[in-house]
Amino acid sequence: MSRAAAKKYAKVLIQNTSKDEIVEIKDFLSSIVSLFKDSKFKHTILSPLVTMDEKYEMLLGKQAPKNTLANLIRLLIEKDRIELIPHIYEELRLAQAVESNSFNGFVYSSQELDPKTIDELKNSISKKVNAIVDFKQIKSNNIGFKAEVPDLGLEISFSQARLKSQLIQHILRGI
Domain count, the chain: 2
pLDDT score of 116 more than 80: yes
Contact partners, residue 3, CB within 8 Å, separation at least 6: 87
Q: Which one is predicted more confidently, 2 or 30?
A: 30
CA distances from 94 to 72, 151, 174 (A): 19, 7, 48
Of 73, 76, 78, 49, residue with least CA distance to 60: 73
CATH number at residue 75: 1.10.520.20
CATH number, domain with residue 150: 3.40.30
Instruction: Say whether pLDDT at 32 is over 80.
Output: yes
102 Cα distance to chain centroid = 13
* pLDDT value at 1 more than 80: no
Whether 6 and 92 map to the same domain: the answer is yes
Q: pLDDT at position 159, please?
A: 76
Over the stretch 80-110, which tens digit does the pLDDT of each residue have? Answer: 999 999 999 999 999 988 888 999 999 888 8
Residue 59: its pLDDT value, please?
86
Residues 62 and 130 in one domain: no
Domain termination residue (choose one: 97, 129, 152): 97
pLDDT digits 0-9 by tens, 122-173 = 999 899 889 999 999 888 887 778 889 998 888 888 877 777 888 888 888 8
Q: Residue 123 is part of which domain span? A: 102-174
